[in-house]
Amino acid sequence: MAECDLPGASVARVAMSHGINTNVVHGWRKSAREAGAVVVGRQQEFVPVQIEPSAVQPAAERDIEVELRRGAVTMKVIWPASASADFAAWTRELLR
């Protein structure tokens, strides 16, 4: 928010440079003004963050899983995502 107070600064440009929606920044600034908050500028710092690798597979590698129930019968279908068009055709035929 301190960047927005610099001479010649554009709130939209500052928000976009940080990947934040402009309306959000305007809301923050309005809330700060209403609360009488004083924004103190400080230098930007990089803080190292360690991110653990995700155990979730990318969507392209995951299978399509569907559970169908009819009365007391339950059927679980697992279909490779790489054949999603075939799964769609199979599903259309099944639901006719």
pLDDT at 8: 86
Q: Is residue 46 part of a domain?
A: no
pLDDT at 41: 56
Residues in the chain with pLDDT values less than 50 = none
Question: Which domain range does residue 91 map to?
Answer: 61-95
Contact 60, 81 (CB under 8 A): yes
Q: By percentage, how much of the chain surpasses pLDDT 70?
A: 84
Q: Is residue 84 part of a domain?
A: yes
The CA dihedral of 9, 11, 13, 14, to the nearest 10 degrees, is 80
Q: Is residue 40 part of a domain?
A: no
Q: Is residue 66 part of a domain?
A: yes
Q: How far is CA 75 from the centre of its chain?
A: 33
Query: How many domains does the structure of the chain reveal?
Result: 2
Q: Is residue 50 part of a domain?
A: no
pLDDT at 67: 92
pLDDT at 76: 92
